[in-house]
Amino acid sequence: MDILYFAWVRERIGLPREQVETSAATVADLVEELRAREERYAAAFADPSALRVALDQELSEFDAPLAGVREVAFFPPMTGG
C-alpha cells in the first residue's frame, strides 16, 4: 500500500511517500510496525494523538481496518479558516 506523509510527519521521516508491505489489520497496527522500523519513524509516531489519518482520501480513525485500503495518509490536525 502507498503511505503518504505530510507536514512535520514528512519532515521527521524524510520521505513524502513510500510503498509498504504490511500485515497490519488496523491503522494502529500499521503505526506500531512503522514505529519499530527505526528512530525517525519512532519520532514521527511518538504521539499518535497528535496525528490524523486518511484511508483512500477519507478521514478515518486509528482503529479502522486496513483490508482493501490502497492509500494511507498521515498528517497533523488541520485548522480551518
pLDDT digits (tens, 9 = 90+) for 16-36: 999 999 999 999 999 999 999
- Which residues partner with 63 through β-bridges? none
Does the pLDDT value for residue 80 go beyond 90? no
DSSP 8-class letter at 50 = G
Judged on CB neighbours under 10 Å (0-12, 13-18, 19+), 47 is exposed
Which band of pLDDT confidence, cut at 50, 70 and 90, is reported for residue 7?
Answer: very high
Quick: pLDDT tens for 40-65.
Answer: 999 999 998 999 999 999 999 999 99
Gap between the Cα atoms of 39 and 26, Å rounded: 22
Which band of pLDDT confidence, cut at 50, 70 and 90, is reported for residue 78?
Answer: confident
Gap between the Cα atoms of 68 and 72, Å rounded: 11
The grid cell for 59 is: 478521514
